[in-house]
Each structure stands twice: as structure tokens, then as C-alpha cells.
Structure 1
Amino acid sequence: MVNKLNKDTIFERKQCKLTKNDGWSKENPPTTKEGKITFTDLGGYINITDRFQDPTSGKERLILENEYGNTVIRDADILTPMKLPSLMGYGFTINTRYIHELCYALQLMRESLPMATLYSGSGVINTKDGLVINTNYIEYHPSIPQNTQILCDGKYDLEPKGSYTQWLLMYDAEVKGHLMLEMAVTMGVSALVTSYLNKIDLIEFGGTIYSLTGHSSSGKTTAAMLAVSVGGAPTKGTSTLFRSWNTTRNGLEGFINENYGILVAFDELSTATFPDTTGLLYSIAEGQGRQRANVHGEAKETKTWSTSLVSTSEYSIFSHSAKNDGLYVRTIELNDVFTHSADNADNIKLGVRQNYGHVLPLIGSFLLNHENTVRTFFEEEQQWFKHALSNEKEKTGQRMFNRYAVFVTSARILSSVTNRSVLLDEMREYLLNYHNETIAERSLADKAIELIVQFVAQYRNKFSDDGRLSNMLEGFGLIELKDDHIQVKIIAKVFKDMLNNNQFQDSNNVIEALKEKGYMDSDRDRQTTKRSVKDAQGKSRSIVFYHLKLDKELAPIFGLSSNTETFTPPKFDNNTNPDLLNNFIKQAKEKEASDDLEL
């Protein structure tokens, strides 16, 4: 028997008591008039810290803590004599002799707790009561009543380390005033801002892929560490925000699952084990993993997220992906030098390893408590980029406006929260230059035309200068210099094989893009042109081809030159009928053009 009256009490009700040092006990009244109060040890320290309803299953669940501070989450029926002893495998001490009394004591404690709701994920989470932002703590939207209990279960270790003051000292000394480094910090902020703007329906996308490329000493890894340090640990680990590309697709999707605005970084794309990144990049940008089935053939719950990602590599993230517009408008790829010296890089790395995770909670609080200001920032930046890029006619280019606006909005929020000036004008100009320099890369038609020119030049001997369609039966097509363009007729199968072999996934999209920009003609209501010609044996055969129009300036590449000699009509002697001869020549040219000329 142990007297526990003098211990600090965590919970006490109906003779049952929980203290930190001695665990659970039950008070027994004296059995005789002269008897003394005694205590029965029911078990060790078992504290129910939270009680919540699982929004998916509707079940009531409990969070139980042992004397070492470790926690487990179990259904409420764990508090039955049959199931409670299973907790011993997780470091809980249970006196099975008094199992019924211990279960009753824990049920009393459970009843004293308010019912909360548990949501899974980190970042911006939409609950039934309103928006919350889960970083290292949960920030509530002002509209949520103060007595509302909301729990969030996130997989990342977002506990801050060091101090915010020390992080700011590093920022002032090494980052402030250097455009590429300020943009790196803005990337870390933009992940949460993008997810938030998506949740309040100002934008349709939930994240952006930031690809940092350059040689090994350009500071791209340092920039990535700096970016993720606003939210959490910039070092590689199981629950940190910095990872290697050397993982499986399933592993990567699992890592970013239920991430709703916490920037994560993947270092060195060259270590990736998957040869084609197309599907993965689409999944990352769209926020949804592949549909999978369990061993019984039933569909598993699809992984979802809404966040941004930083990738580092010495080569472009598009090098091993399909040539599709969709990937280019979901990505901002920066090929630049980020750090300005070796000391600068070392100081940043040391600073963010020792101090991280302090900025993002402040950003979250600003988003939820200053919604009108955030909306104003975004709408102003949106209008600025629309005006600055008013000459942009490409749909793919126009789809980038909101991504630029979100980025600069994030920089303005960073400036407001840290009380530091940020190079906003320089960021806008940098993004404008980036847009103009990469416009051809975002245009599917321009990428296709570049390939077509290379293909025709490489296989020039397969394209006949002779305009007769029958020559297409033995080669790839025809080529001819016209007054204002170069006409290329290419066999349909050859054209589609060329696209497939060069990672253009959907030829129909390419064809529509070429038509839209005036690079392709076809028969009415068809993508192709179809004609009937006679082969060497005189048999009629159908050929299907694409009719392309290329820039006349490309003529030297294909060995084409215009015939500048003036045509001189033949002289006729008195015995020749000129009208009959001219008519014969006219008919011959018409038959030759239609491939009906027979010898």
C-alpha cells in the first residue's frame, strides 16, 4: 500500500486518482471505525490526453500517453478488460489483478474530456468548423469558436529548433539583398500561400514545382535547404523536409501524402531510379497519386496533397519527361547561381541547420488573420502581370500569370511578417524575363516545329524535291519551296512515329497546336490529307499525309533555293501552232500535279 495524498494530481474522481510519479490508484475507505484509509495500485501512468472522433470512420478514438511521453492512438473500446492489457507492448504498466477497476478509472477520465475531431495532414486543412493551419501547432481561423477542439495528425517533424532571432540574423547577413536567395526563401513561403489561396478558391492549382538547375557549385542545394528551413529541418531524415530523389514513386507519393502547404525538397534528380518522370511530375503538380488496389482487388484510398516542391539537378527536370505543355505550366525552372561565395553557402547551411521552423507558423497566422490583405496582395500582383504580359497570346503562357502573382504575393507576405524589405521589383522583372525566355519551351507547337525541322534536315534524302505525290510511296514525303513558305508533306505514320520517339505523348494535341498556329493544313473536318496515286505498276494506292508549312528562312538548312531566273517563252517558227503547244504544256502540268501523267 502506498500513500499518495501528497503527490501532484493530474486527475481525480470517485476515489480514482492519477499522479505523474505513481500512476493510477484507488482510495479505499476504512472498514472499521478505528481503521485507516488505504490505497490500491491499479497501474502505472496512463494518461488520456485527447478524445476525438475520426472524421473518416466516425469512431471515437483516444490518445494515450505513458510515463516516457510516448503516445498511441486507439479506438475507445481499448478501455475494456479484454483489450487494455495489449498496451503493455507499448510501454504501459498495467496491474491485471485490478484490471476492471483500472478500466473504470480510465473511462471516468475519458468522460471528463471534450470531444474533438482529428484531421490528418500538415499545412492548410479544411475542417467542418473552418480553415486551420497545422505547422508545429494548430492555428485556427478567427471564425472558429474558441471552445472548438480540433486535432491534426501530421507526419513531419515541424518542431522549431534554435531561435527566430538567430534565423533572422542569418537572413540579414547572408540572404537580404541577394535576389536568388530571397527568391529561395519565398519558395518556402509560397507553398503555404499557394495552398491557402487554393482553399479559398482564388486559384485553381495547389502547388508549383520549383526546379533549381546548374553546375555543382552554383548553390542550388544551399538554396533548397534555405527554402525548407522556414518550415522545418533542412536535413535528410525520415520525418524532415529534405530528401533525395533516390526513392521509388510509391515512396515519394507516400512522403508528400496529406501535405497541404509545407515545402519539401528533393535533392539531385540524377539519383532518381525511374527513367521517365512524366507521370510523377503530373501527379505531384495535380496533387493526387495513382489509383491502387489491395490484394483483394479493391480500390485503396488515393493519396492526396496540395503543396509545392523544390527539385535540384545539374540538368533540366524536363530532360526525361514528355514534351507536354501541361508540365511546363506547372513548373518554374531556374538555371542560375544562387550563392555568391563559398563562405556565403557555408554560413547559410550552418545557420539553417541550427535555426529552422520559426517562419512558417507566423505566415500561417498572417494568412488566417489577414485574409483581406492577402486577397488584395494577390489581386494587385495578378493585374500587374496581366498588364506586363498583355501581348502574350499563347494559352500556356497565360496560365503562368497566376503562378507569378502567387510568388510575388508570398514575397510581400514574407516582408510583412519579418518586417524586412524584399526585392519585389527585381523579382517581378526576373519572372518577366524568365517568361519571355521560356515562352518557346511552353508552346507545344514551337517544340514540335523544332523537332520537325531537325527531323526533315536529318532525313533530307527521304524527302523528294519532285512534287509528284507518287514519290511519297518510296520515302518520307515531299518538300518544296513556295513563294512565302516551305511546304512539307510527310507520311502520317512517319509523323506520328517521330513524335512518339521524341516523348510527345499525344499526337492529336500536337496537331491541334500546329493548326492553331497556322503550321498545318488539312482536308476539311480531317487532321490529315488523303490522296490516291498510282505506283510503279500502275495500281492505285491511297496515301495519308500531313501538310506542313515552315518558315521560308529555313530554306538553306534543307538545301532549297528559289529559282530567280525570269521565264522566257519559247520562240515559234511559222510552221508551229503556238496556241496548241501552250495548251498541251498546260494540260501536262495539270496532270503532273495530280499524278495522273502517263507515258
Structure 2
Amino acid sequence: MADKDMIAFDFSKLTEEMLLRSDEPYAYIYSLRHDEFYQEQELYAMSEYVRKKFGFRRFMTMYRSYESSMKLVHARIVGMTEFHGQPLQMSLIGWVADDAGVYRETNYGREYACKHPIMPVERIRNIDTGSEKIRLAYRLPGAGWSTQLVVDKSVIASPQQIIKLADYGVSVTTETARPLIAFLQDVEAHNYELIPTIMSASRMGWVNGQFLPYDAEIMFDGEASFKALYDSIGSEGDYEEWLTVVRDARRAHPAVRAVLATSFASVLIEPLGILPSFTHIWSTESATGKTVIAMLGASIWGDPDGGRYMQTFNTTEVASEKTCAFLNSMPLVMDELQVSNSKQFNVYKIAQGVGRARGTKDGGIEKTSSWRLTCITTGESPLVSSSDGAGAVARVVDIEIDGVVFDVDSGQRITGVIRQNYGHAGKKFVQAVKDVGLEELKERYAERLSDVRKNLDVQDKQIMTAAALLVADEIADEFIFQDDMGRLGMNDLAPYLKTREQVSIEQRAYDLLIDWIASNANKFSDDYPYERYGVIEGNVVYIIRKIFNEIMQNEGFTHQSVASAMAKKDMIIVNHASDHRRNDIGKRINGHLCRCIALRVDNEEDIVWL
């Protein structure tokens, strides 16, 4: 319907000169474009009037040419967004953006990009990958600008992707997808400096020389499943209250000092170039304070409650990898090993610091995740067993709690404080590491390595772990605790570090076999009338290979690895005459030639029945 205030054109003033030399009549018709019905009425009326009065039959053609030229002019006109209550006012070229929506004039008529206000209001750049996302603000009928959506930039560059915004209420169809892409791309390009860019991160810790989240204002840009963990990182309450309680707890037991040092040491793993390690606190008794100790370690970085910074073992292997990748340089703290399915938590894989390569839907390969951190775990049993590989055993400092470290009352007092006051020390420690500097940090680490190697007979990877914990404790005491009575000493760690023999798979398998032979002594005797397991001659025990393989498999060892490791240490007799050295040899038992593992026994008294 025509606007009542619109001034109608006086047809009687029309002249042939005006039709041929002026744009006045054509401009009048074009000015009616916002009311298409009235415009068509006036266009037809004027066309008929000049045809009858002047015999001018080209008015329609002349007007269409004028209309096309004006649309090209409008396409180059700079305007502004005119949305009511808009977060930003942005410049436009060729677009109209008001409360009626977003559209532009084309040679084929008005083309809508969206039937409601919409605009990009924030650019989000991942500090780690450099990838960008865009925050779209849009206002639906009856709603305000609170409706916002963060999407990958690729979404607003693809018609197939952008129509998925319809699931979130955006007015977009297959027909308007391309115009909406054009509008969003144009408005961002013309307002690049106006649209704020904020940095984001999908992992914490050391990223491109910065330690996140302390060194930069960032927003979380990771998987939704890690939002709670991300939110748990940060400070709350009073630092001095936390310090008083933790300084006192630090004096209580070597396990507390070791866990606090492990938590701080996570920051050192990457700059020192060493692999992840575990400190595992365990006890078969309940109410010994294991969980309280783990919470103390977690409180350095954030909210120590379970389900917040502290995680549980009730997870999958993939989830464990992704959690490590997210924490990156911050410690992984996990409580209650006994709720875990052992197949879902692989110590060795986590200690390697690299996730498994996985395929993508389009046939490619996902970026392999990695991490450099320490792990604090608790449970009712050791984290690794005698059958685990040497690589896993060497990465774990198993600390058994003998007795009660924190009883119920002291545990409640400690957790009551650290649940309200936490997260300050982590930031202070990171700054302390920077103040110390990389060169001095490496010098301190080298000194501790030398000290441990000289004074303790332990496996090399255990030496590296111990040295890192000692350096971390040293820096923490210097810059945070300032309490010599609570320092972690080499003697605190010594009872829990493993020797080379304890770590080696062949020695652990040997100890197992000696016990097994003693408990099955009759089955190695020539007088035994039933199934034989082998034969003993002097200090060599010949174990039928099939039986040996079954024992190893039942105990969780890989029989090939054990036999190979034993052969290298000359613990078994091998067949050197063969072109391909075998780890088993032929031996006649009850007149039958059998393939056997020929185990050398260090001391014949190890075989009790002899």
C-alpha cells in the first residue's frame, strides 16, 4: 500500500524533452521501489499516459535501463548497519541492513541474505594452531542480541555448511546461503579493524613460548567435554591461607612432599626436554589420606575437588589421551585407580607423551596430540605390575603409604581450606621458573642428576624423574614455601625409586619363574608319572616352550620379549649354531625331543625342593 505522505508525480507536467533528456520521471518511479505494488501501478499509468499523449512507446524499456543503472550505483554506495540495539555499527557497501533484515538490490530484484538482523561481532584466533572462528550475533523476532553463535570460519564460507546455522534459529535456506555468505564476508572485510580479535586456546601450559592461561587473555576453544576442567583452573580465595595449610602438610610425610614436587615439576618437563612420569600414592588401607594428598597437588593449579581439576580413573584410553593433550604442561591428577579398567589406562602410552594417530571422516589423519606433563595418581594397589614392560615400570615412582598420613579430622581441616583457597601457587611457580631462566634451570637439573646418580643405585629414567622433582621442590621452596623443614630430600625419594634390576623385564620374569618352579617342583622330576613341565639338570632348568609361553601369557608378559631379553643377559642358553639364533633349544624329556627354554639359575638353592 502506498504511503499516504508520498507526493504523487503530476503527469500533466511531462514533456517529450523530459522523457528523452531528463531522468525526473524515471527517478520518481524508482523512488517507489519499497512498495512494489504501488510502483507497478504508477509505472503502468505513466507508460500509458506518455504513449497516448506523445506516442512514446519505449517508456517501459527506458525505465528498466534506468533501474539497472541505479542498482549498480547503489551497490557502490557506502552505508551503515541500522539494526536496533546492535552490538557494533559497521559500514556496508551495497547492502541494506536494518530491522527488516539484510538485502541488496540486483538486476533481478531484491536479494535477501537474511530476514532478521545478523552480524559478525568477534574474531577468535587459536594461539596454538592459528585457525580462526567467528562469533555471530543475531536477533530473532521478540528476542534480544543475547543469541550468539561461535563457528569455524569455514562454516561461513560454504553454502553446504552455512545452512546448518538454521538448526540454531538463523534464517538461512539453500536459496539465501550464498547471499548470506557474501554479506558476512563483505561486512567482515570492510570492518576488519572494528571487529575485535581475541585469542583462544585448546590446551594449557607451554604454547609458543607462553604459559597458558597465565600469559595471555584467552578464551577456551577446546572440546566441550573439557570445559569443566578448563573452568577449574584459576585462583580463588586467599593465598596466605592456602600457604599456611600446605606448608604444614608438606612436613607431614615424604609422600606429600613428593606429590607437591611432582605437581610443580610438570612445568619443567618441556623446557628440560624429558618425558612424562608418574608419582603414584597407594595403600591397601582406607582413610590413610591418599585423596587428601592428591588434592593438595591439584590445589596448586585450581579447584582440587573430584570432577573439577582432579579426575578419576573411570575413563577410556582415548579420553585419557585427550585430557593429557589439553593439560599439556599442567599435571594430570587422577584419584582411585581401583575404579579403572586396566585396559583403558595405559601408563606407558601416557608416559610416551604422544597420542595415537587417528583417521578423520574424510580419509585424512588427525593431528597427533602430544603432552609434556607429570601425573599424580592414587589407588589401593601399585600402578604397574611385575608383568608391565620396563618402559612403564621405569616411569612410575610408586609410594606405598604405611599407616595414616592424614586422619579424618586433619583431612577435613586441610580439604576445607584448599577447597576455598587454591590456584595461586601455580601462577607464582611459572613466574619463578621464568625468573630462574632456562640456562640456570638446566644447570640445576644437571647437578641433581649427578647427585642422584652418585648416591643412589637406580634406573636411568628413575634418576631423571627424581632430579626433576628435586629441582621443582627447590624452586618451589625458594619462591613459595621458604621452609627448609619441608624440603624434599634425596633420602625421601630413595626408598621408592627402582633399581635397574627391579625395572628390567627379564629380572622380574626370572623372579616369577623361580617361584613358579619351586611350587611345581614335582613336575620337573623323572619320577613324576603325569604331565611334565620340564627337567632340572644342575643349575639349568629346562622349561618346555609351550609351558613357558603359557606362564608368561597368564602373568601378563609377552613371552617373545621375555625370552629375547633373557637371552641378551645370558640368563638362558640359546642355540648359537643355528643360522637364526633361537631363544629355545632341543631337550629330551621322557624320550621325547622338546623345544625348551633353558633357564640358568643363579643359585641352586633358589630351587627349594633340591
Which residue number corresponds to residue 420 of structure 2?
Answer: 354
Q: What are the equivalent positions in structure 2 for 1:496-507 lying under 5 Å apart?
A: 496-505=549-558, 507=559
How many residue pairs were aligned? 489
Unpaired runs of 5+ residues, structure 2, are 1-77, 93-97, 102-115, 139-144
SS at match of 1:545: strand
1:494 aligned to 2:576?
A: no
1:509, distance to aligned residue in structure 2 (A): 3.0
- 1:324 aligns to what? 389
Q: Which amino acid aligns with 1:444?
A: I
Match of 1:415 among 477, 498, 508: 477
SS in structure 2 at match of 1:400: helix
1:229 aligned residue: 299
Residue aligning to 1:428? 490
Which residue number in structure 1 is paired with residue 277 of structure 2?
A: 208
Report Cα offsets for 1:506-526 as digits up to 9, x if no partner: x33323433454432223263
1:185 aligned to 247, 260, 263, which one? 260
Q: Would the aligned equivalents of 1:491 and 1:544 in 2 still touch at CA under 8 Å?
A: yes
Aligned equivalent of 1:545, options 567, 592, 596: 596
d(CA) in 2 for partners of 1:517, 1:54 = 50
CA distance in 1, matches of 2:235, 2:433: 20
Displacement after TM superposition at 1:405 (Å): 0.5
Q: 1:260 to 1:80 in 2, by over 3 A?
A: closer
Match of 1:134 in 2: 212
Q: Distance in 1 between matches of 2:589 and 2:159?
A: 90
Alignment of 1:263-342 (within 5 A): 263-272=331-340, 274-276=341-343, 280-294=346-360, 299-319=365-385, 322-336=387-401, 339-342=405-408
CA distance in 2 between partners of 1:116 and 1:22 (Å) = 20
Q: Deviations over 1:455-502 (max 9, x none)?
A: 212221111268xxxx99962211134xxxx32112222222211111
Structure 1 contact 257–304 (Cα < 8 Å) conserved: yes
| RMSD between superposed Cα atoms in Å | 4.2
Show the counterpart of 2:565: 513
Partner of 2:111: none
Counterpart residue number, 2:585: 530
In 1, the alpha carbon distance for the partners of 2:497 and 2:84 equals: 61
* Aligned counterparts, 1:3-42, within 5 A: 23-25=87-89
Is 1:476 aligned with 2:540? no
Match of 2:203 among 113, 121, 130: 121
* C-alpha distance in 1 between matches for 2:196 and 2:298: 35
Q: Which residue does the alignment assign to 2:462?
A: 400
Q: 1:293 to 1:107 in 2, by over 3 A?
A: closer
Contact 1:223-1:338 within 8 A present in 2 as well: no
Residue of structure 1 aligned with 2:451, choices 365, 384, 394:
384
Question: The residue matched to 2:514 in structure 1 has which SS?
Answer: helix
Change (3 A) 1:79 1:152: same
Distance 1:40 1:153 in 2: 32
How far apart, in 1, do the equivalents of 2:514 and 2:524 lie? Answer: 12
Mapped partners of 1:54, 1:229: distance in 2: 26
Distance in structure 1 (CA, Å) of the matches to 2:266 and 2:447: 19
| Secondary structure of the corresponding residue to residue 492 of structure 2 | helix
Q: Which runs of 5+ in 1 are unaligned?
A: 1-13, 29-38, 140-148, 561-599
For residues 495 and 116 of structure 1, do their structure 2 counterparts lie closer, same or farther at Cα, with a shift above 3 Å needed?
Answer: same
Alignment-derived partner of residue 503 in structure 2: 442
Write the distance in 1 (CA, Å) between the matches of 2:252 and 2:241. Answer: 18
- Identify the residue that residue 563 of structure 1 maps to in structure 2: none
Partner of 2:17: none
Taking structure 1 as the reference length, the TM-score comes to 0.69
Contact 2:127–2:201 under 8 Å retained in 1: yes
User: Which residue number in structure 1 is paired with residue 521 of structure 2?
Assistant: 460
Q: Is contact 1:167-1:351 (8 Å) kept?
A: yes
Shift of 1:364: 2.2
Cα distance in 2 for partners of 1:338, 1:196 equals: 36
Question: Whole-Å Cα distance in 1 between the matches of residues 252 and 328 of structure 2?
Answer: 30
Question: TM-score of the superposition, structure 2-length normalised?
Answer: 0.68
- How far is 1:283 from its partner? 1.8
Give 2:310's match in structure 1, choosing from 227, 242, 264.
242
Residues in 1 aligned to 2:566 and 2:159: alpha-carbon distance in whole angstroms: 72
1:2-151 matches, cutoff 5 A? 23-25=87-89, 48-52=121-125, 60-63=132-135, 72-75=150-153, 78=156, 107-112=189-194, 120-125=202-207, 127=208, 131-135=209-213, 137-138=214-215
Between stretches 330-339 and 494-503, larger displacement belongs to 330-339
The CA distance in 2 between the partners of 1:250 and 1:132, in whole Å, is 27
C-alpha spacing 1:64/1:172, structure 2 compared with 1 (3 Å): farther
* Cα displacement string for residues 6-53 of structure 1 (whole angstroms, at most 9, x for unaligned residues): xxxxxxxx885899976345799xxxxxxxxxx989888977344537
Aligned-residue offset at 1:63: 4.6
Conserved? CA contact 2:84–2:99, under 8 Å: no
- Kept after mapping to 2: 8 A contact 1:118/1:151: yes
CA distance in 2, matches of 1:45, 1:170: 52
1:226 deviation in Å? Answer: 1.0
Is 1:262 aligned to residue 327 of structure 2?
Answer: no
CA distance 1:104–1:546, change in 2 (3 Å): closer
Alignment of 1:571-582 (within 5 A): none
Change (3 A) 1:400 1:91: farther
Distance in 2 (CA, whole Å) between partners of 1:21 and 1:167 is 46
Q: Which amino acid aligns with 1:379?
A: A
What CA distance in whole angstroms lies between the structure 2 residues aligned with 1:80 and 1:24? 25
CA distance in 2, matches of 1:65, 1:423: 57
- CA apart distance, 1:184: 2.3
Tell me the equivalent position of 2:44: none
Question: Per the alignment, in what secondary structure is the counterpart of residue 504 of structure 1?
Answer: coil
**1:343 and 2:409 are equivalent in the alignment:** yes
Q: Aligned-pair distance for 1:75?
A: 0.8
Range that drifts further, 490-499 or 283-292: 283-292
Q: Partners of 2:476 and 2:589 in 1: how far apart?
A: 71
Separation in 1, partners of 2:90, 2:122: 20
Determine if contact 1:195/1:260 at 8 Å carries over to the other structure: no
Tell me the SS of whatever aligns to 1:111.
coil
Give the direction of change, closer, same or farther, for the CA distance of 1:113–1:373 in structure 2 (3 Å limit): farther
1:503 Cα deviation from its structure 2 partner = 0.7
Within 2, Cα distance between the matches of 1:246 and 1:196?
Answer: 31
How far the C-alpha of 1:504 sits from its partner, in A, is 0.7
Overall identity of the aligned pairs, in %: 22
Partner of 1:363: 429
**Residue 172 of structure 1 corresponds to which residue in structure 2?**
247
Partner Cα separation in structure 2 for residue 530 and residue 280 of structure 1: 35
Q: Deviations over 1:109-166 (max 9, x none)?
A: 43346878765311112x3xxx11113x336xxxxxxxxx998745422232223233
Q: Which amino acid aligns with 1:72?
A: V
Matched residue type, 2:277: T
| 1:195-216 superposed Cα distances (whole Å, 9 cap, x missing partner) | 3322xxxx2x1x2122110121
Residue identity matched to 2:121: I
Mark the structure with the bigger radius of gyration: 2
